């Protein structure tokens, strides 16, 4: 093996770094190992039991896994910043693989201007207006699954619905939308180490970045879509043309894999927990609540990072400045210090304070859209489908940040 410099060792997870200061539990876990990505829950439990803050020696980062400290850190955006990147890579020392996001990878005050522009477009009224269109689309797609009988929950619904519904809502071209999936896969791998998964993904991107860049342009976007509405910020002097394009890129980066994987996870969990499926189909008005429980119990988004802007103490652990901290939101969602029976999938519980969308100033800007899509799809299933059964093992997709399925063979029958 050729010698690697330290930065590269860290990014490949083969460093063995002692904690720089203070007393802290140390773990050798590799959050990006296939075994952890396959079934992370026992690993998260071990980390939680080791303490609220644990040093991960392979990557030289602190891990935070308890609900309380995850919440505190996400709320303290001054100490735990995002402008050095929301992934493992420290932008102060390593060049990011793409131009940083104007939302995710910025701090105050710069962040507030772009966030405000995004929220101007993603406002509750604008999102609500998509309901009738989305309901009709979901009903058509669920009917097509029923007509097939044997289908794939991912290809036939979890991927198909957001690509059509969200793609049309943003106003991107219909042709070439398949580029959004490898691009999103790259974005989410990019928050982890520069491992083989990352490098293979980068090498396999093909024309996707070019297609995305073109899709973000004012004149490519439909005149009435969410994407084009961002450009009104150019007319008011709040954004430059390039900034508006980058905000459209945020919609396309953050808005597909997340919702696609969440819908797939919802299907798999409902099919695996027939008692919960029975509850949902007997009361379709539980769709929204069921979605929240899916997001809590089996969050798509598992990890992102903050970087300390000053020396800080968390639960007795002294952190130096410029330290990466991995915030494991999927673990916070299973923390027994916060949740009653955290490992039980129960759609009747009140789960809406889960961390699947993060919290604080960087809390998911698209969560209203995601919730609308999820509620409508689960509602359509609950109203139209009787039997929802897996006919084979769902196939996991491996990614450094998001977790979900690429296929889920299903048998679905119509309600009488």
Contacts to ligand OVM by CB under 6 A: 101, 103-104, 187, 249-250, 253-254
Nearest approach in angstroms of CB 401 to ligand OVM is 8
- Residue 101 or 407: the one with the smaller Cβ distance to ligand OVM is 101
Least distance in Å: CB of 358 to ligand OVM?
7
CB of 180 to ligand OVM, least distance (A): 12
Least distance to ligand OVM from the beta carbon of 42, Å? 26
* Pair 413, 148: CB distance under 8 Å: no
CB atoms within 10 A of CB 197: 18
Task: Name the nearest CA neighbour of 57 among 92, 23, 10, 91.
Answer: 10
Return the number of the residue (43 or 305) whose C-beta is nearest ligand OVM.
Answer: 305
Q: Minimum distance from CB of 412 to ligand OVM (Å)?
A: 31
Q: Which is nearer to ligand OVM, 142 or 256 (CB)?
A: 256
Nearer to ligand OVM, 152 or 298 (CB): 298
Nearer to ligand OVM, 195 or 253 (CB): 253
Contact, 33 vs 196, CB < 8 A? Answer: no
Q: How far is the CB of 239 from ligand OVM (least distance, A)?
A: 14
Spatial distance between the Cα atoms of 409 and 295, rounded to a whole number of angstroms: 21
H runs (alpha helix) in 15-130: 34-38, 41-50, 67-75, 110-121, 124-128
Distance CA 351, CA 328 (A): 17
> Cα–Cα distance between 300 and 303 in angstroms, integer?
10
Among 79, 71, 69, 65, smallest CA distance to 31 is for: 65
List Cα–Cα distances, 15 to 83, 135, 210, 307, in angstroms.
Answer: 24, 50, 35, 19
Distance between CA atoms of 185 and 202, rounded to whole angstroms?
Answer: 9
94: number of Cβ within 10 Å: 16
Nearest CB to ligand OVM, comparing residues 187 and 326: 187
Which is nearer to ligand OVM, 103 or 270 (by Cβ)?
103
Minimum distance from residue 83 beta carbon to ligand OVM (Å): 13
Max CA distance (Å), the chain: 66
Element (DSSP H or E) covering residue 166: helix 160-170
**Minimal distance, residue 319 CB to ligand OVM, in Å:** 23
Distances (CA, A) of 1 to 4, 28: 9, 21
Name the residue nearer to ligand OVM (CB basis): 249 or 296: 249
Sign of the CA dihedral with 95 first, then 98, 104, and 110 last: positive
């Amino acid at each position: 093996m050729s010698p690697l410099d330290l930065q590269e060792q860290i990014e490949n997870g083969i460093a063995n770094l002692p904690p720089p200061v203070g007393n802290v539990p140390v773990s050798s876990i590799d959050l990006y190992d296939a075994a952890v990505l396959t079934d992370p829950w026992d690993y998260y439990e071990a980390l939680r039991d080791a303490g609220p803050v644990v040093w991960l020696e392979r990557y030289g980062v602190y891990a935070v896994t308890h609900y309380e400290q995850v919440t505190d850190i996400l709320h303290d955006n001054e100490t735990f910043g995002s402008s050095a990147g929301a992934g493992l890579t420290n932008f102060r020392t390593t060049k990011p693989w793409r131009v940083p996001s104007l939302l995710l990878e910025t701090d105050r005050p710069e962040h507030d201007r772009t966030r405000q522009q995004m929220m101007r477009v993603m406002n509750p009224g604008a999102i609500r207006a998509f309901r009738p269109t989305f309901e009709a689309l979901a009903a058509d797609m669920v009917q097509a699954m029923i007509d097939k009988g044997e289908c794939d929950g991912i290809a036939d619904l979890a991927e198909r619905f957001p690509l059509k519904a969200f793609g049309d809502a943003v106003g991107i071209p219909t042709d070439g939308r398949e580029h959004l999936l490898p691009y999103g896969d790259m974005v989410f791998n990019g928050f982890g180490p520069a491992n083989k998964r990352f490098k293979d993904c980068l090498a396999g991107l093909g024309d996707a970045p070019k297609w995305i860049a073109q899709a973000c342009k004012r004149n490519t976007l439909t005149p009435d879509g969410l994407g084009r509405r961002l450009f009104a910020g150019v007319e008011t002097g709040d954004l430059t043309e390039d900034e508006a394009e980058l905000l459209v890129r945020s919609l396309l980066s953050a808005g597909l894999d997340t919702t696609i994987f969440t819908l797939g996870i919802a299907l798999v969990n409902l099919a695996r927990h027939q008692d919960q499926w029975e509850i949902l189909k007997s009361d379709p008005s539980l769709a929204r609540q069921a979605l929240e429980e899916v997001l809590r119990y089996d969050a798509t988004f598992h990890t992102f990072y903050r970087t300390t802007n000053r020396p800080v103490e968390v639960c007795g652990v002294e952190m130096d400045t410029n330290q990466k901290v991995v915030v494991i939101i999927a673990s916070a969602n299973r923390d027994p210090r916060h949740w009653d029976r955290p490992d039980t999938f129960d759609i009747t519980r009140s789960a809406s304070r889960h961390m699947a969308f993060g919290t604080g100033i960087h809390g998911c800007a698209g969560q209203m859209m995601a919730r609308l899509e999820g509620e409508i799809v689960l509602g359509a299933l609950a109203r139209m489908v009787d039997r929802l059964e897996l006919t084979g093992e769902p196939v996991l997709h491996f990614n450094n940040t998001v977790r979900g399925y690429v296929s889920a063979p299903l048998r679905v029958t119509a309600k009488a």
